[in-house]
Structure 1
Amino acid sequence: MLDISELSRKSGAPASKLRYYEEVGLIRSVGRKGLRRVFEPDVLPRLALIALGQAAGFSLAEIRGMLGQEKEPSIDRDMLAAKADAVDRHIEELSALRDGLRHAATCTAPSHLECPTFQRLMRIALVRQGARGRGRKQARAMSQKGGTARGDNT
């Protein structure tokens, strides 16, 4: 058995995060040793799965859904494939942005505003900003109705 301070040291997660994960149902303590929560050692791989899920961009609610309450997680392969596709799209967008910025850095046009590549980058940035703004408005509207747009990302 690991008390919360040992689990924190071994996992690298602060005790406050471990308490929060327990509160939202991601991990479960098996009792107390004095005032400290006690966890089974098999919670370490579960914490690693949570960290991996967050690194991949899954919300805690999505991760909780895949991990469930049982010891053996039920990871949705379709969700993984969809997330991988989203990561691929993001990589493509970032690669195009990088290439545009490199071009702008070496462009021989008298002004960046005269460069067609730079103008295209500006148009893309405006479109993305508008899409993000619409996403925030939808999230606010849903939260006012008592729901959430993306789930718990804390």
Structure 2
Amino acid sequence: MDISEVARRTGVPASTLRYYENRGLITSLAKKGLRRKFASSVLEQLALIALGRAAGLSLDEVQAMLTPSGKPNIDRQLLAAKADQIDQMISQLSAVRRGLRHAAVCPAPSHAECPTFKRLLKAAASGALNRVRGESPLKSDKKPSVTLQGSVRHSPAAARPKPARRQRT
């Protein structure tokens, strides 16, 4: 199939397909005129690349999981380590979400008086929130956990507006 068909079927722009080919992640069979031709197996390779990128793997890490023939050679230890990182990110982002939801309904006169919001600001100031998003820490390789526990619960569920229900007609 030609490059436009691969792009249409995968949603990957032709420019990205050419970039992947230049990096050695995929290979074309030949060029017909100015258009590259690919084997149908390129769809599976692109799916593996997309999965790796969604999991936060670098293109170098993804490339290491592809043999020269394009068949997968999965590094199970790398996948387990990446899954552990994702679990940590989910935990940290959940704590941030809880803090934001609390701050949105906190009955304190101002956010400056809300202990939960103060902890959220402290985590942001320390750079912990940037590390949650995968940005590199400035001063340390350690990833402190974002902890917003111990907050005073002001029954945010009671203060949160309930969605309107649709009436059947």
- Give the TM-score, by structure 1 length: 0.81
Segments of 4+ in structure 1 off by > 6 A? none
Consecutive unaligned residues of structure 1, counting only runs of 5 or more, are 136-154
Aligned residues: 134
Aligned with 1:134 (options 138, 146, 151): 138
Query: Which protein has the larger Cα radius of gyration, Structure 1 or Structure 2?
Result: 2
Indicate the residue corresponding to 2:89 in structure 1. Answer: 90
Amino acid at match of 1:29: S
SS in 1 for 2:72: coil
Matched AA of 1:62: E
Is 1:30 the counterpart of 2:29 in the alignment?
A: yes
1:85 is displaced (CA, Å) by 0.7
Distance 1:102 1:6 in 2: 45
Q: Please give the alpha-carbon distance, in whole angstroms, between the structure 1 residues aligned to 2:11 and 2:104.
A: 40
Q: Which structure is higher in RCO with an 8 Å CA cutoff and minimum separation 6?
A: 1
How far does the alpha carbon of each residue in 1:25-74 deviate from its partner, in whole angstroms, 9 at most, with x for none? 10001111122111111111001111111111111111011113223211
- Kept after mapping to 1: 8 A contact 2:45/2:71: no
Structure 2 segments unaligned to the other structure (5+ residues): 140-169
1:32 is paired with a residue whose SS is strand
CA distance in 2, matches of 1:111, 1:12: 47
Give the Cα separation in 1 of the matches to 2:3 and 2:45: 15
The percentage of aligned residue pairs carrying the same residue is 57
Letter matched to residue 138 of structure 2: R
Q: Residues 12-31 of structure 1 correspond to what in structure 2 (within 5 A)? A: 12-31=11-30
Matched, 1:65 2:64: yes
